[in-house]
Amino acid sequence: MTLGPARLYLALALLAWAPSPAAAQRLQCDRCHGELELLRQQVRSLPEAERLLAPADVLHASAHGDMPCTECHTGVNRYPHAPTAVTRACASCHAPADTAWQRGAHATVQDRDPVACVSCHGVHDVATVETWRSEAGIPIANRPCVGCHEAHSMPRDGPHTGTVLCASCHGAHDVRPPVDAASLLHPLRQIETCGGCHETIAALWQEDVHFDTLRARTSADPHAAAETLPGCTACHDGHGMVRTGGTAFTAQSVERCTACHERKGKSFFGSYHGKATALGSKVAASCADCHGAHGIRPSTETASRTHPDNLVATCGECHTHARAAFVRYDTHPEPLNRARNPWIFYAFVFMNSVLVMTLIVFGLHTLLWWIRIVLDRRRGIAHGPGAGHGKGDVA
Amino acid sequence: MEYSTVPIDSAQRGRGPYVWRFNRFHRWTHFFAMLSFYTLILTGIPLRFACAPFAAPLIRFWGGVEQAGLIHRWMAGFMVAYTLVHVVYIAVRFFRSPDKKRWLWGSNTMVPHPDDARDFVQQFKWYFGKGPKPQFGRYGYLEKMDYFGEVWGFIVIGGSGFLLWFPEFFGAWLPGWIFNVATVFHAYEAMLAAAFLFTIHFFNVHLRPDKFPLDAVMFTGRATLEYMHEEHPAMMGDLAGVAQQPVSHRAVHDLPAPPPSRRSTMFATVFGFFAWGVGLATIGMILWAALC
């Protein structure tokens, strides 16, 4: 009597452990579907053999764990498998995920097959959500997304790279383009989406004047273009996000603020703070240093960091001995705006007049001198040292 | 000097002998003024025109905006130091001069004089062929303009710069907008100084067709008698009679000088060209920045 695998397994089960019926069944299937070479000989095609490959250890490690093969594959109890053998839809168990997927952009992609469950989750190696959320699992989970959305891969050193799932921001099944009002990444919904992790910032952001603007504009025009709305990504970007704290982030945020607040940007870059910031200073104040980052209020409100009553404290964060007189410095000077600050205006006009008049008078002095010398030369009159006028033998 | 062609240094053109025009103290002071002014302008200009394309590379050259600021302040301190020494020097020269009236009012003086205004008008008359060229003394109105222009610039730029250096200190009792005003004064006076020195001073001293391309008298300290006769004729009487005057009445530098050595001529020429090259490049930067 030969000791066939079935008998061997039975013997093993008796000896050491009793596998569940599902596990026993998987091991049975593994006899063929665990052996690539065997499958290849049967179907005479390597890609087809690879498709049919389902080793028991892979299944065991997957989210489906100890589920029997026949849970998904019906009509395969016998060999050769019945021609009516079918694979059950994932939806038969995962109905809510399927419903969400049906609504999302992946179910309706144009000019290619829909992006189905297995496109992202894999077939037999389906990972658990816990695995995907682990530090090691995140890059693995994101790989199928990046496989299609190559142009949207994250920069190597981005703050979210390798630490955040694509799905955490974009949604898992009901994934939509961010411009879609129902997208998790629509500016109006970013407070929940980003705020899911950044809770304290989200709480501050609710008080921010930009959040007021965002709500006012979206309620006035529900179809307002997402790119024009001040949500989290308007300043921070999505994929190109720059880590906060460095000069690169300062440069980017100043650029973002001044893109809308053009006039304030112009006057800021006319001041020492702005010029030093533009040149990469690590200490010079930029927009957020005075106005705050989240929870910004207009300077007319007492809650504002830039309200006159709060300036001594705000400026004092850098200028430790700031007093009431000190904070009368105009951080957004407009030299040509006489009403805003007459003294800057008069200084500007006076200094420009001195500059222009000096250059006109002495520019003329220079130009006419030049012409005189050239004209005299033409008439044979030489000037200058060595012209022969001097009495070199005086001494 | 056996030059077969016209010397590059216009102070070496014409017949000799050489006379001292600037003593060692003058020359060092002028060198310090150049060194500090060039450094101050080149550390300040990228901040003033932070939007211009040259600003970032120039700031990188100085090692960042904070370090450029530090160098700027050290150089300002250096400028104050040699200016104080210069003031002491002037005071000593005045109190030691045997003839105070001649010191203040003679053909050698730096003190502004009604004749300077007359010479200025005369110069314009000469441009239009309405009279002879004005007869300058040792220092004509152009030299006095350069000198007192720097005094004015020192007060305006130095004063406003000092305010901006210690804003918390001055902001304790002065209203904060004083720093806005100081910024305007500092920036525009610096621009005026750069524009004046690198165009008008350069033309008057070096680039005028009759002195082109260089006058190194401030570096070698001496010029031919013919040069002095051409450029400063009103002091020629003093020079001619110098041997007859009692020793105590002569200015030390009114003495015949040995010709400058080849080495000092070479140094003066290279240094002079370098300085006016950087100066003209700075003017180029200001014009370039005007576009942004």
Q: Render pLDDT for B215-270 as a digit per residue (tens, 0 to 9).
A: 999 999 999 888 888 898 887 766 665 555 554 445 545 577 889 999 999 999 99
Contact list in B for residue A362 (CB cut-off 8 A) is 196, 200
Alpha-carbon distance A307 to A299, whole Å?
Answer: 4
Alpha-carbon distance B18 to B261, whole Å?
Answer: 12
Nearest to B126 among A363, A372, A394 (CB): A372
Q: For A385, name the nearest residue in chain B, comparing CA atoms only.
A: B227
Contact list in B for residue A312 (CB cut-off 8 A) is none
Contact list in B for residue A363 (CB cut-off 8 A) is 199-200
Handedness of CA B100, B102, B108, B112 (dihedral sign): positive
**Are A394 and B229 in contact (CB < 8 Å)?**
yes
Confidence of residue A391 (pLDDT cuts 50, 70, 90): very low
Q: For B206, name the nearest residue in chain A, comparing CA atoms only.
A: A384
Average pLDDT, chain A: 87
pLDDT of residue A393: 37
- Tally C-beta pairs within 8 A across A and B: 209
pLDDT of A138 higher than 80: yes
**Are A276 and B185 in contact (CB < 8 Å)?**
no
Contact list in A for residue B176 (CB cut-off 8 A) is 325-330
pLDDT of B11 higher than 70: yes
**Are A326 and B171 in contact (CB < 8 Å)?**
yes
Q: Render pLDDT for A67-87 as a digit per residue (tens, 0 to 9).
A: 888 888 888 877 788 777 788
Confidence of residue B97 (pLDDT cuts 50, 70, 90): confident
Nearest to A370 among B181, B188, B209 (CB): B209
pLDDT of B124 higher than 50: yes
| CB B69 within 8 Å of CB B76 | no
pLDDT of residue B260: 92
pLDDT of A13 higher than 80: no
Shortest distance between the Cα of A302 and any Cα of chain B, in A, equals 21
pLDDT of residue B125: 96
Contact list in B for residue A341 (CB cut-off 8 A) is 177, 180
pLDDT of residue A29: 85
Higher model confidence: residue A162 or residue B34? B34
Alpha-carbon distance B211 to B201, whole Å?
Answer: 13
- Collapse the DSSP code of A74 into the 3-class scheme (helix H, G, I; strand E, B; otherwise coil) and give the result: strand
Q: Render pLDDT for A258-294 as a digit per residue (tens, 0 to 9).
A: 999 999 999 999 999 999 999 999 999 999 999 999 9
Q: Does any CB of chain A come closer than 8 Å to the CB of residue B223?
A: yes
- Collapse the DSSP code of B236 into the 3-class scheme (helix H, G, I; strand E, B; otherwise coil) and give the result: helix
Alpha-carbon distance B70 to B45, whole Å?
Answer: 14
- pTM (predicted TM-score): 0.82
Contact list in A for residue B16 (CB cut-off 8 A) is 392
pLDDT of B50 higher than 90: yes
**Are A279 and B236 in contact (CB < 8 Å)?**
no
Alpha-carbon distance A327 to B282, whole Å?
Answer: 35
